[in-house]
Amino acid sequence: MNILVTGGAGFIGSHIVNTYIEAGHSVTIIDDLSTGEMQLVNPEATFYKLDIHSPEVKNVLEKEKISAINHHAAQISVTESVADPLFDANSNIIGTLQLLQNAVSLGIEKFIFASTGGAMYGEQKSFPASEDHPCQPLSPYAISKLCAENYINYFGTEHGLNTTVLRYSNVYGPHQNPHGEAGVVAIFCQRLMKGLPPVIFGDGEQTRDFISVRDVAKANTIALDPECKGVFNVGTGKETSVNFLTKGLIKVSGIDAKTEYNPARNGEQRRSSINSRKFLERFGWEPCVSLEEGLVETFDYFKNKTS
C-alpha cells in the first residue's frame, strides 16, 4: 500500500513510518520540520518538506499514488493552544479539512487521524473513559481535535471515505520532543541528563494514562484494515500520577535528583485514563509495553543521544 504520513519526521509519526516500512508498505512523508527532525526520517521513505496547508500536497498525493493517509501533523501543545487558539485551529482543523477534501477528490481509500483521548473527555465522570464518555474538552487543543473528528465523521458519512480515529492517551517513548510541554517523560529525561531537577506543575497528584509509542505504532498498523472504521481509544486504562512517574524515572536514571513544583497550568484536567476494550474486542489490540520497560527504553534513548 502507498501511504502518506503527515508529521512523519516527528515523534509518533516517525515510529509509524518505520512500522509501515517494516510491514512492506511504501511510505511518503510530508513534514514542515517545525518540530520534526530529518534525522528521524526513515531513509526508505520519500520525503517532502511541506506544510499541510500547501496546495502542493494534492500534487504529492497524485504523484505518489497514495491510497491511505495517516494524519499526524498537528499543533500538540495544550498551553500553546490556550495562548493562541487561532493558530491551533488553523493547524488542527483547517489543515485536516484540506486533507479530507483532497482525499475525497482523489478517491483515496483510507484516512487515519491521530486524536486525543487524554484531553478529549475533560474532567471525566468515569474511569477509565470509554469512547461513549461525553466529550467535554477543556482546552482549544482538545476542542480543535473534536471539531476535526466531526469533519472526519461527515466525510465518512457523506462521501464514503473509510476513516479511523485513534484517540491516544499520553504517548511517550524514544524520539519524543523534550522541548515545550507536550511530553513530560522526554522533558524529565533531558533535565535529568543535564543535572537539572524535574519540574512538576501542580501538586503532582494529577494522573495520566501513559502509553508507549511502540504500542501506538502497532495500533496504526491495525487501522489500515478496511474493516477498522470508527473511533477507538488507544491507552492502557491505568492512571499514573505525575509524582509516581517522576520517582520511577529518577530510579531508572540512577541520578540523585530532587523534584521542584510550580503552579498548575490552565486547560489541563485533574485525572485521565481511557478504556481501549473496544479496540481489543474488535481487532485484538492491547498495550504490551509496561511503564517500567517504556521508561527504561526512553531514558536510554536520551542517554545515548547525548553521549
Residues classed as catalytic: 141
Contact 142, 120 (CB under 8 A): yes
Residues in CB range of 130: below 8 A, 6 or more apart? 233, 274, 275, 277, 278
Which region holds residue 225: left if phi is over 0, alpha if psi is between -120 and 50, else beta? Answer: beta
Phi, psi for residue 133 in degrees, rounded to 5: -60, 140
Q: Residue 134 corresponds to which cell in the numbers above?
A: 461525553
Radius of gyration for the alpha carbons in the chain, expressed in angstroms and rounded = 18
- Burial label, 258 (beta-carbon count in 10 A; 0-12, 13-18, 19+): exposed
Beta bridge partners of 77: none
SS3 96: helix
User: Residue 213 CB: number of other CB atoms within 10 A?
Assistant: 24
The C-alpha angle 107, 232, 237, rounded to 5 degrees, equals 160
- What is the C-alpha separation between 115 and 140, in angstroms, rounded? 13
Contact 280, 286 (CB under 8 A): yes
